[in-house]
Amino acid sequence: MKKKLYIKKRDIYISKIKPFMRKSLVKVMVGHRRVGKSYILYQLMDLIREEEPGANIIYINKEDINFKDIKTYLDLNAYVVSKSLEDRMNYIFVDEIQEIQDFRLAIRSLALDENNDIYITGSNSEIFSSDLANELGGRYMEFCIHSLSYLEFLDFHELENDDEALENYIHYGGLPYLIHLPMEEAIVSEYIKSIYSTIILKDVIQRKNIRNTSFLEQLILFLASNIGNLFSSKSISDFLKSQKVDISSYVVGEYAMALVDAFIIHQVRRFDIVGKRFFERGEKYYFEDLGIRNAIAGYKRQDRGARLENIVYNHLIHCGYEVKIGTLGTEEIDFVCQRNGEILYVQVALELSKQETIEREFGNLLKIKDNYPKVVVSGERSFENSYEGVEHVYFKDFLSSTLSHSILK
């Protein structure tokens, strides 16, 4: 194994995975490239060595040329079997496994042996969805690895929780490797663009055999410039046609889902709060990493409200919420969040200096007739803590919370 670069631990993921270690469940870690999946594997291997000195660890990294000969499921199976021991647990780690043809067949076979404890990572959700579930018969656990949360960003960069740190997070995003670079615009931007180009080439264009790369770039720029706006494939197609780009709504939908599968963007569907159902059309898109989004669309002052909304969404999913766009009659609730049977309603506002803005943001939440927590997150530090029973939280305080017991804890 090549010498690994030092990086800080991401205990939130280790604590989630640890209960399933040494169980006959395949541990699957997904997320876009350079989001830190490899280093979580390293941390798991270190943990195994601490608990079990002399443990038989079998490690394959498909981005390492030393493993170039492992091309198919037969190669993978043969390599693992050659390194396995019969009298003890075999800890099998395969990084970027989607590069191995029909890898599911090997994993299914290896998982039959209770002495095999298997951990795999991949950078495209499509290959880990229904096919893997069918192959393993439900004997796997999936863990989505995200860019750094704000609290992780502070920890990684050893920063105080102040406005300068917050601005750096909003600007540069949460790719873990940034701790090894000077926090300078030209250097960070060059690195982020290189990662973005790799993701687009390997996990979108090559994976989906996309030929119209020019349109793909236009679509990504459109989505990056319209964070938090409600769209359908047809409405995007109609807009692009007005810009002399004639692409069918079907192709728009296919390309957008390719970006979702590569973990570049998240697609969030609309949900009828009263009728308890999803709408067939209309969704919003948010970027997994704001640094990547800013590298695409630029860091413009007028986009700040959209960036705050994107980061609030990211924080909610990082805290384990399933998030939907809420619809209440003609009103919209930015986020309807569900976790462990509990619901949280969230509105996001850049500022609350105008009375009509206050009445709209808080008023929409007040129309929901249940007793679940409701909160407005804004960039207004000085606004009062609550309004007619609805809590207000300053943006930085919200990102500094774990949302475990109350908003501010």
pLDDT digits (tens, 9 = 90+) for 68-114: 999 999 999 999 999 999 999 999 999 999 999 999 999 999 999 99
Asked if residue 304 lies in contact with residue 346, where contact means CB atoms within 8 angstroms, the answer is: no
Beta pairing, strands 342-349 & 374-378:
parallel
Q: d(Cα 76, Cα 74) in Å, to the nearest integer?
A: 5
Asked if residue 43 lies in contact with residue 18, where contact means CB atoms within 8 angstroms, the answer is: no
Q: For 172-197, give one letter per residue: b (16+ CB within 10 A) or e.
A: bbbbbbbbeeeeeeeebbebbeebbe
pTM exceeds 0.85, yes or no: yes
CATH fold for the domain made of 11-144? Rossmann fold (3.40.50)
Q: Where does the chain hold its CATH 3.40.50.300 domain(s)?
A: 11-144
Q: What is the pLDDT of residues 226-285, one digit of tens each?
A: 999 998 899 999 888 888 888 899 999 999 999 999 999 999 999 999 999 999 888 999
